[in-house]
Amino acid sequence: MHTNYSIGEFSKKTNVSVRTLHYYDEINILNPSYVSDTGRRYYSDKDLIELQ
């Protein structure tokens, strides 16, 4: 089962602030698995492992 987490859910799950996740995306350390047409970032379980 493949789960996508919104940036807020991912932030709570990993205890990393939303701003830090935005920063990681800006400097290409951790990019979201999916970005919607409206610009919302979504992260997967794979991203969770990569962050750890």
In this predicted model, what pLDDT tens digit does every residue of 1-16 receive, in sequence order? 568 999 999 999 999 9
Locate all alpha helices (DSSP H) within the chain, ordered by sequence. 7-14, 18-26, 45-51
Torsion angle, alpha carbons of 9, 52, 15, 43, to 10: -20
Strands 34-35 and 4-6: unpaired
Provide the pLDDT for residue 47.
95
CATH fold of 4-51 reads Multidrug-efflux Transporter Regulator; Chain: A; Domain 2 (1.10.1660)
Provide the pLDDT for residue 2.
66
For the stretch 21-40, pLDDT in tens is 999 999 999 999 999 999 99
Strands 41-44 and 34-35: antiparallel
Provide the pLDDT for residue 1.
57
